[in-house]
Structure 1
């Protein structure tokens, strides 16, 4: 799965959002994704074009760390442990939905 490196339009309301508020909202999102292990990454990719791994990769990029460290932050545990507990093989339908969803993401 490949994650989009979507960038916001400069000077929009999101850029004007206080960093503390943005961080609090992001932490709430990550905690919800940690709690909702029933929401599979392949389904998140198919619906929204991003998943837990994408968020971890974005953290890694923004924080100057390796991808595994970023993904561990998002999963709340090492990626291998999360996969062992929650990962199921994707169906052809899920893969097709993910590809169609990813095609809608902006690429920079």
Structure 2
């Protein structure tokens, strides 16, 4: 009886996971275009950061240095936005928690 409950639970989890994997395999052509645009924008921002690092700041006034620091901060902030991240849906989190409970 205990094995039957575990088999039913595993089957239910697999049935819930299947639509997520099917949806994840579909690729959108618009997304690829935006990724290319984002990568070119990111590369230009990285190039600007390298230029700032290579500058000789010993001859600059404190106002100019402060402006460069603000520019570097804004570039780093925009790079974080362009880079994106890993997002988990609520359903995926529930499935992960259930699998951890079952395995541990």
TM-score (ref. length: structure 1) = 0.29
- Choose 1 or 2 for highest CA Rg: 2
TM-score (ref. length: structure 2) = 0.30
